[in-house]
């Protein structure tokens, strides 16, 4: 028992590396968003397809812990580019203040849950299966929405569920790192998980602000 506890403590020494890599990933994504201003509209769909392909690739490699730093930073850069049209749309429709408020809200929620998950003695890793099922349901509804668009009320409800799901993933990912630690080779993978939690939380909160703002 002592040896196992000591091993977890040693592996937890890489938590700061995960947070630094995550912060760097956000910075690279921000640069990508700025680059998105200069990307021709016809290029966004191929970039989205590339982004989805990289995400599927990462999903199948996650058990091998084979995700590298160059892969992580390339993915977040492309993700930043593909996020630009979303941010640009809401900047145009509701203005910069709600967009900044959505970013501030996301940062607050993410940080608050992260602190709680890192400090609590409770083990929330049992949430993994439920969160995956909820995520697959969100993906299915997103595909459905392409062909049969949801009403604004339906999209608002969808976005609130998205906030709950990705808040749950923040809780799950930070708590899992606390409970089981992080090895050196897992750092890029854990940073990618946190990045996906943050960016999806932001997009859902931004969508909520956008829908509510358009009703004013």
Q: Which pLDDT score, from 0 to 100, does residue 64 have?
A: 60
For 136-191, the pLDDT digits (tens) are: 999 999 989 888 998 889 999 999 999 999 999 999 999 999 888 888 888 999 99
Q: What residue numbers bound the domain in which 154 lies?
A: 2-214
For 56-77, the pLDDT digits (tens) are: 888 877 666 668 899 999 999 9
Residue-averaged pLDDT of the chain:
89
Number of domains present in the structure of the chain:
1
Can you tell me the distance from the alpha carbon of 138 to that of 12, in angstroms, rounded to the nearest whole number?
32
Contact of 108 with 215, CB cutoff 8 Å: no
Report the largest interatomic distance among the alpha carbons of the chain, rounded to a whole angstrom: 59
């Amino acid at each position: 028992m002592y040896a196992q506890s000591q091993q977890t403590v040693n592996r937890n020494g890489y938590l700061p590396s995960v947070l630094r890599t995550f912060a760097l990933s956000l910075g690279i994504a921000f640069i990508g968003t700025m680059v998105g201003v200069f990307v021709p509209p016809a290029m966004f769909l191929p970039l989205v397809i590339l982004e989805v392909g990289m995400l599927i690739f990462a999903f199948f490699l996650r058990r091998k812990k084979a995700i590298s730093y160059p892969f992580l930073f390339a993915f977040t850069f492309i993700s930043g580019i593909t996020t630009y049209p979303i941010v640009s749309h809401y900047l145009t429709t509701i203005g910069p203040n709600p967009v900044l408020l959505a970013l501030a809200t996301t940062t607050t929620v993410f940080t608050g849950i992260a602190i709680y998950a890192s400090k609590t003695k409770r083990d929330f890793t049992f949430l993994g299966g439920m969160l995956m099922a909820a995520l697959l349901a969100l993906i299915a509804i997103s595909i459905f929405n392409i062909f049969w668009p949801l009403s604004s009320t339906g999209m608002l409800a969808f976005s609130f569920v998205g906030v709950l799901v990705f808040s749950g993933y923040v809780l799950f990912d930070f708590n899992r790192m606390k409970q089981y630690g992080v090895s050196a080779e897992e750092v890029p993978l854990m940073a990618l998980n946190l990045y996906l939690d943050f960016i999806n939380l932001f997009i859902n909160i931004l969508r909520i602000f956008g829908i509510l703002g358009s009703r004013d």
